């Protein structure tokens, strides 16, 4: 286990915001998992499992957090077949774009809708990341997770997932994804590549994919009620405050223009939620994870 003192959240999140945590623990093998609980107790603070940092809004200042970075980089590997599906096993630390490139090279279809999402495999599984009608967890065969010192494999029938959420009913204290096995379908490589290319350019035309952002900041209240449209109608498309701004391309993307702060971001989010509530009577729920959470 590698330990890094006082890591910067601004250097580890795609929004480029956040203060300094107590420490960062980088996990790379089974021995690290066995030692994790003891080290967390010794350091104090609250653990924050952090993949690519693509869905995080970290507060400013000294934060009572210990970052836990699952850097399990094995795979992707084809490990068998089941019920007509080709099984692909991949470590939680593998970048999602690397898994998608593997799918193109091997002619494996199912995950094309996830193109353009910058997260890690573990993070994509844990939050059931989705795009273009594709949800990560829809294609899971099983996942390996750790809770305290216990590592176990859990099949899809024991998982509960929904819009941007994954849970394991018996894991009341939370869990960390170590690896995932997907069930994918064989298809022509050109077709898979073309669908990914189409999806990426479609996304690029409507979303600020190259900006410092954390993706969509609010969940859609309903499939036919996108948060971005509500924010736009409430006058928040392009709205700026203290170096932060709602994108002019897509109102549900909060971007850091290079000099923003978490305080400014949180103020802008609060104002936007209040504007939507007053105009439409709807309470937008954050999709981005605010850390530490407001109750702490």
Determine the 3-state secondary structure of 267 from DSSP. Answer: helix
Task: Catalytic residue, from 112, 135, 141, 287: name it.
Answer: 287
Give the position of tokens 């504007």: 275
Residue 141 appears among annotated catalytic residues: no
Residue 287 appears among annotated catalytic residues: yes
Task: Catalytic residue, from 12, 89, 216, 273: name it.
Answer: 216
Cβ-based neighbours of 48, under 8 Å, separated by 6 or more: 21, 65, 66, 67, 68, 291
Instruction: Name the residue among 267, 241, 250, 146 with its Cα closest to residue 203.
Output: 250
CA angle in degrees (0–180, nearest 5) for 72-254-6 = 45
Residue 79 class from Cβ within 10 Å (0-12 exposed, 13-18 middle, 19+ buried)? middle
Residue 216 appears among annotated catalytic residues: yes
Give the position of tokens 């701004």: 245
Task: Catalytic residue, from 39, 71, 98, 164: name it.
Answer: 164
Within 10 A of 154 (CB to CB), how many other CB atoms are there?
Answer: 17
Which residues are catalytically annotated?
A: 164, 216, 287
């Amino acid at each position: 286990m590698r330990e890094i003192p006082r890591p910067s959240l601004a250097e580890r999140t795609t929004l480029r915001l956040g203060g300094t945590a107590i420490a960062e623990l980088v996990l790379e093998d089974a021995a690290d998992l066995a030692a994790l609980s003891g080290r967390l107790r010794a350091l104090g603070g609250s653990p924050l499992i952090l993949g690519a940092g693509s869905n995080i809004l970290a507060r400013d200042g000294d934060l009572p957090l210990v970052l836990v970075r699952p850097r399990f980089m094995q795979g992707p590997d084809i490990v068998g077949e089941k019920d007509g599906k080709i099984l692909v096993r991949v470590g939680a630390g593998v970048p999602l774009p690397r898994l998608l490139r593997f799918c193109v090279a091997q002619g494996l279809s199912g995950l094309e809708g996830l193109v353009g999402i910058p997260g890690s495999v573990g993070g994509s599984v844990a939050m059931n990341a989705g795009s273009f009608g594709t949800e990560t967890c829809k294609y899971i065969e099983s996942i390996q997770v750790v809770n305290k010192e216990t590592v176990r494999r859990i099949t899809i029938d024991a998982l509960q997932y929904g819009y941007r959420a994954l849970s394991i009913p018996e894991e009341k204290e939370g869990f960390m994804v170590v690896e995932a096995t997907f069930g994918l379908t064989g298809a022509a490589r050109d077709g898979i590549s073309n669908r990914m290319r189409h999806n990426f350019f479609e996304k690029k035309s409507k979303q600020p994919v190259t900006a410092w952002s954390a993706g969509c900041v609010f969940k859609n209240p309903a499939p036919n009620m996108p948060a971005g449209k509500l924010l736009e109608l409430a006058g928040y498309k392009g709205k700026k405050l203290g170096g932060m701004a709602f994108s002019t391309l897509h109102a549900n993307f909060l971007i850091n223009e290079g000099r923003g702060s978490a305080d400014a971001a949180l103020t802008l989010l609060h104002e936007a939620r209040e504007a939507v509530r007053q105009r439409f009577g709807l309470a937008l729920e954050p999709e981005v994870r605010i850390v530490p959470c407001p109750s702490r």
